[in-house]
Structure 1
Amino acid sequence: MSATVLILPGWQGSGPEHWQMLWAQRHGHAVVAQNDWQRPRRGDWLARLDEVVIDTPGPLVLAAHSLGCIQVAVWATVSRHTARVRGALLVAPGDVETPELKEQLPGWQPIVRQPLPFQSIVVGSQNDPFCRVERAQALAQDWGAQWVDLGMAGHINAESSLGDWPEGHTLLQTLMKE
């Protein structure tokens, strides 16, 4: 049985040109919509993800961006439904422990640093304004994830000019086959 992909956008959501939304359009992946993209409350986001996981039949693969990566790490420690997840593609994790983000995203600290109970890949960039590359690599290691360095790709979002980012979708497909 093939896995259903759940797309987890980060803070403020992903706009129409973001690879996540392009994947949803082109490949039929499901976007986990949040009640409030501007003021994300951790408990609300975790409950919403759990609700979607429970309501979606079959195996799942998560495709998270930025705050969505932090959401996956926390969710994996509190949910009783992690066995449903085959893997997670965690792209450009946002460092919510920096002073700037800590103030804007209260309640998301500390970042959970436990190994994830499913296979995962963290994709980061050398010049991500929301997470230093060394920090992203450390998160990948702590989460037990494979590390992929995209070079100078910024926050790996619409501004990174990746289009529908076929290389990222290839990474996602490796998780779907596990």
Structure 2
Amino acid sequence: MPLAPEDLKFAVDDARRRHAAVVDLIAASDRQSLGFLQLYVALAGGAFSGAAAILLPTVGTMPRPLGFGLLGFALPLTVGAVLCMIAVWPSNINLPGRTPNFWIWALRHEAEEVYLAYLDNLQVKEKQNSDLNRKQGRYMLAAKIAGVAAPIAGVLVGTAAILANW
């Protein structure tokens, strides 16, 4: 039994809300990526500067393993910053709503046909946005892992430098 126009209207509204929610998720992920990017660049910049100040002079007052530890800390943060940049790189996103061309076309067709055309198009566009959201989420997860790995890498590299007597 075909859906009544009221049921189709509900279906279109429900699908539109989900589509808008996915767009909101993408925007929130972009904001989060930019926040991590700022943090990672600031921390990595400071760590690289500290490492250079310790490791480059021929006579230094700071222990060299500390400089290597700072390098070990900075490298995962740099990788994390690159992953954040990839996550926010411009992508093809579909915004909710339809162009005027669709609505002009809709004026010449029956309501059921318009609803079905709307949903068919929305199905493709929602998949496009969901795929983008998943891709963005994978890069953000990797960036977060890099942030967690940074202090661990710093300690491990610093300890290795001590043991190697660098």
Query: TM-score by structure 2 length?
Result: 0.24
- Decide which structure has greater helix share: 2
Higher relative contact order (CA 8 A, sep 6+): 2
